[in-house]
Amino acid sequence: MTTYQLDIEVTRPFTSARDTLYRDTVDAANAIEMRWSEYFTWEDDAQESLSRSSAIKYAEEEIQSYHSLVREHLSYSIKAKEEA
Q: What is the mean pLDDT of the chain?
A: 92
pLDDT digits (tens, 9 = 90+) for 51-76: 999 999 999 999 999 999 999 999 99
Interhelix angle 48-64/20-36, rounded to 10 degrees, is 150
User: What is the tally of structural domains in the chain?
Assistant: 1
pTM for the predicted model, two decimal places: 0.85
pLDDT digits (tens, 9 = 90+) for 10-48: 998 777 767 888 899 999 999 999 999 999 999 999 999
C-alpha to C-alpha distance for 12 and 16, rounded to whole angstroms? 12
Q: CB-side exposure of 51: number of CA atoms within 13 Å? A: 17
C-alpha to C-alpha distance for 71 and 64, rounded to whole angstroms? 6
Residue 84: band (very low, low, confident or very high) from pLDDT cuts 50, 70, 90: low
Q: Which domain holds residue 32?
A: 2-82
C-alpha to C-alpha distance for 47 and 59, rounded to whole angstroms? 18
